[in-house]
Structure 1
C-alpha cells in the first residue's frame, strides 16, 4: 500500500507558504480590480464566462491556439460520459491492461496510478483516477475501451470538437502529454514531440458544453482526496491537482471543478468552475507565469473575484415583450391577415453592475410572413442584445440563449370561399 510520505507533506507546506506570499503580492491597492479591460493577469491567454448563458465576461488573447496539456482530459471525459449515457460503456465494465497503458502507468514522473500488467480495473476506477488525479495511463485505458485504440479515439475527439463548434483545435493524444513522453507508442500518424493545442475560447466552450450535457462530472471533479483501490495492496492516495477545492492549499469558496494541466510547452493551465449564490462561472487560464503550481490558481482567483464581485444577472427584456418597430407578422391565406409576436421567455444575462443600462434589445426577424394555419408559439425571429457603447465580448456560443420571438396566437386557414372573394378583391384593386 502506498502512503503519503513526509516529503509530500513538506511539499504541501511549501506550496501553502508560496501561495500566501504570492496572494499578498498580487492584491491590488484597496483590493479592487485593475483597469476595466486589464486585470493584470500574467498569463498567455485567459477567459471568464457565465456558465448559464455563455456570456463572456473577460478575455485576454483568447483566440490564439496554445498548449492545453491535461485540460485535454475534459474531452475524454465528455466522450466517456456520452458513451455511458448511450449504454455503450458500463461503469462496472472491466478493462484488461494493455502493454501501452501498463508501461505509461509505471512512469512515476507523470501523474499516474500504477496499473498491474495482469490487472483488471473498472471503468469507474479509471474515470476517477483520470478526473481527480489526472492519471495518464487510466486515460489511455478509457480511450482504448471506447475506441479500441488511442489512435481511433483521436477520431472521436475531433468529431466531438467539430460537433461543439470548437475552433483551431489540434489533438495528438487523449491525455494532453507531449508525445515524446509516450515511449514511442503515440497514436499513429502523430509527430513524436507534438502536443494538444486549443485557444482559451475553445477550452471554455468545451467546458461550457461539458457542464450543460454532463453536470454529473462535478460529482467527481469536486473530490479533493480519494484513495485508488482502497483496502488493497495497490492502494494509492490521490490528491486532486485542483488546489482550489475545499481543504486544499488554494481553496476558493464555491470551486467544484474542473481540470488542471501542466507540461513544459503548455505551462501552468487551469479550467476552473465555481458557484456562488446561484451563479456559476467558468475560468480558463493558459500558461500562467509565477510561483510553481500556484500561479494558475492566483490567476483564476482574480478572474472569479472579478466575475462574482462586479457582475450581476440582469433581465434585459421580459417574457411577452413586444417591439414597437414590429408588433406583427403577415399570415398568408389566414382568417386574420397578421398575428402578434412577442418574446417567448425573459432574456437575462450577466452584465457589469455599473453597465446594466448600457444594453438594448433588438428584434431580428427570421420570417417576415407565415402560411396559414400558423400555430401559437411559432418562432419567427430572435432577440439580439447590443451594448450601446464600450467593449462587449459576446457569447461563447455566438448569441444569447432563450431569445426566441414567437407568435402569440393561432391563425387558422381561411375557407375556400373567403380566399376566393379575397382573390377577386385583390384583382379589382390591382386593376383600378
Structure 2
C-alpha cells in the first residue's frame, strides 16, 4: 500500500461518525402506539410520562392545543415558587388586593375565596387558596404582586414557558378563566380569548414543578384546609383533586394511593381536565387529560393511565455505565502508544418496557468535533472515562421510545481505556515520517 492510500485510510477511520448500535434481536411494536390502540382514553388529548426517565408511555393528540382552564395555575404556582427561591417574596410577604382581584373573587360560581380590598393577605394565604381550592382571585393577586399587572405576568408566563421547552403554550392570564368570563378585565386575546396549551406542554410544566420546587407537592396534596384570612368564619377549602387520599369515603371511588398533585381545571370551553402525579415504590408518573366530559371522568381516565403505567411496564437496562459499546469501530488516536481507543457508555440508561416484550433499541453515537483534529483523530493522551461524545437513543424499525425532553434520550460516550502519549523521540520520528509521507504523496499525485 503506498503512502497516499495509507494516509487516506487513517483519515477515513478517524472521521466523525454516526454509529447505529442495535441491542436486542426482537422487534417491538411502538409502546405509545400500542397504548393508543388498547387504552381507549376518553379525552380530547392525554399523555402519560415516567417521571424518573422522562419516557412517554402513552400519548393521544398530545401536541394539539386546547384551553387548559385552571391547570393554567400551575405556571402561576411555578412563578410564585421561583420568586420565593429567588428571595423576591417570602411566605409572609403582604399582598394588597386590587379591584380586579376583588371583583373576580366575589363570584362564587368560579372557584374562589372572597377577598377584601381593605385587608392584606400573606403569600401563603393566597398560594394555598390557589393550589388547594383553585381560587381565581388569589391567583390574580399573586400575579399582580409579581408582575405589577396581570398582563406583565402573562408575558412572564410565556417567557418561562419558552425556557421550559413548552413549544405550543400561549398564556393571556394567570387563572385559566376565559375572556368571556373576565369581561372588562380581559387585557388581550379578544372577546373569546383563552389560554392555549398542549398536553405535552402541561406535562413539561408539571415535571418542572416537581423537579424544581418539590415542596409544591406538600401543598397540592392537602385534601382539606380552612381559609381564615380576612373572613368572619373559616371557609372550608376541599381540594378539587378527588384522587387524593384523605378526602373521605364519598370520594373513595376516585382515591388512588400515592397521588399528591397537581391541578384540576374546568370551563365550558375546556371541559374537565386534570394534571395528576403519583408516586408508588419510588416511581413517579405524570399524567394529563384534557377535555373529558364530566368531573368524575377525568379521574377515571387518569386512573386508567396510572394503572397502565404501573401494571404494564417494568424497568430494563439498555446501557450500563462503562460498558464497552460493541460492534463499532475504534476511534483513531494521533501520537498515542495505541493507534485507536474503544468507546463505552458514560452512564447507564433504563427504559420502561411493556411486560413480556424485549426492547429493540438503537443508539447513534456522535463524537465531539472539538476533540478531533482535521483528520478526525483524537490527540493522545486520552484518559479512561474521558467524555468524547454522546449516544442518542433513536427509533429503530417499529420501536418508539419517546421522551418528554430531548436530552432525556442522550447519554455520554467515554473512552473505554487509557491511551498514553508516545515519548518525544517516537513523536519526532513519526513527525519525520509524516513529512516524507506528505512529500511522497505530493509526488505520487504529480505522476
TM-score with structure 2 length normalisation?
A: 0.82
Work out whether 1:426 is the aligned partner of 2:428.
no
Query: For 2:353, which of 348, 351, 354 is the aligned residue?
Result: 351
Cα contact 1:53–1:349 (8 A) shared by 2? yes
Aligned residue runs from structure 1 range 46-195, under 5 A: 46-187=46-187, 189-195=188-194
Cα contact 2:125–2:229 (8 A) shared by 1? no
Relative to structure 1, is the Cα distance of residues 77 and 370 closer, same or farther in structure 2, using a 3 angstrom cutoff?
Answer: farther
TM-score with structure 1 length normalisation?
A: 0.85
Aligned partner of 2:209 in structure 1 is 210
Runs of 5+ unmatched residues, structure 1: 1-33
Alpha-carbon displacement from aligned partner over 1:236-287 (angstroms, at most 9, x marks no partner): 1111111000133111111111111101111001110111111111111010
Relative to structure 1, is the Cα distance of residues 40 and 424 closer, same or farther in structure 2, using a 3 angstrom cutoff?
Answer: same
Matches of 1:35 and 1:88, distance apart in 2: 44
CA RMSD of aligned residues (A): 2.4
Greater relative CO, 1 or 2 (CA 8 Å, sep 6+): 2
Q: Which has the larger displacement, 309-318 or 388-397?
A: 388-397
Query: For 1:268, which of 255, 272, 277 is the aligned residue?
Result: 272
Cα contact 2:360–2:399 (8 A) shared by 1? no
Alpha-carbon displacement from aligned partner over 1:37-88 (angstroms, at most 9, x marks no partner): 3311211101111011110101111111111111111111111111211112
Q: Which has the larger displacement, 404-413 or 219-228?
A: 404-413
* 1:184 match: secondary structure: helix
Matches of 2:384 and 2:399, distance apart in 1: 37
Relative to structure 1, is the Cα distance of residues 121 and 179 closer, same or farther in structure 2, using a 3 angstrom cutoff?
Answer: same
Matches of 1:414 and 1:78, distance apart in 2: 55
Cα contact 1:345–1:402 (8 A) shared by 2? no
Aligned partner of 1:220 in structure 2 is 219
Cα contact 1:323–1:363 (8 A) shared by 2? no
* 2:404 match: secondary structure: coil
Matches of 2:36 and 2:159, distance apart in 1: 38
Matches of 1:355 and 1:413, distance apart in 2: 46
Q: CA deviation at 1:143?
A: 0.8
Aligned partner of 2:281 in structure 1 is 277
Q: CA deviation at 1:337?
A: 4.8
Runs of 5+ unmatched residues, structure 2: 1-33, 370-375, 441-447
Alpha-carbon displacement from aligned partner over 1:365-391 (angstroms, at most 9, x marks no partner): 344544456555443222333465535
Q: CA deviation at 1:192?
A: 2.9
The total of aligned residue pairs comes to 396
* 1:326 match: secondary structure: coil
Q: Which has the larger displacement, 194-203 or 335-344?
A: 335-344
